[in-house]
Amino acid sequence: MSDLDRLASRAAIQDLYSDKLIAVDKRQEGRLASIWWDDAEWTIEGIGTYKGPEGALDLANNVLWPMFHECIHYGTNLRLEFVSADKVNGIGDVLLLGNLVEGNQSILIVCVFTDEYERRDGVWKFSKLNACTNYFTPLAGIHFAPPGIHFAPSGA
């Protein structure tokens, strides 16, 4: 594997990692479906395992999106290990902040994602993703609000 191929692969995989988070936050079905191989598995501890692009959409549409009014993921500490030229293992941390539908309150969730990426026919996608939740903490009495909601217009 050349240094250039390794760098290009890292960039493609970092985009996949971000695409996963952006797709869930922005409720972008096309982006979410496009990042999985048909035989991929997405496991979220305590929720279940979902297979392929259809499973990812099922998880989003029937579990994740109904749970939140809105959410935002912050992904960090992505570390990639090349197993071969076409297979990479990754680990990264994710912080999620959001407003739950139930109870109309905010929540903080912290997970460790262990991922497997594969390149097939020159394209990198997820082959496995495992989300292990470290914290699932409702923030009692807190509801995240958009900027400006707490400020009266001048002259009011």
Give the Cα separation of 53 and 33 in Å (integer). Answer: 5
Contacts of 17 (CB under 8 A, 6+ apart): 75, 78, 90, 92, 113, 115
3, 5, 19, 25: which is the annotated catalytic residue? 25
- Collapsing DSSP states into helix, strand and coil, what is residue 143? coil
- What are residue 9's DSSP bridge partners? none
How far from 60 is each of 27, 63, 65, CA to CA, in Å?
Answer: 8, 6, 6
Helices (H) and strands (E) in the chain, counts: 4, 6
Residue 73 bears catalytic tag: yes
Residue 58 bears catalytic tag: no
3, 5, 19, 73: which is the annotated catalytic residue? 73
The residue type found at 24 is V
- Collapsing DSSP states into helix, strand and coil, what is residue 140? coil
The span from the first CA to the last CA of the chain, in angstroms, equals 65
Which residues are designated catalytic? 25, 73
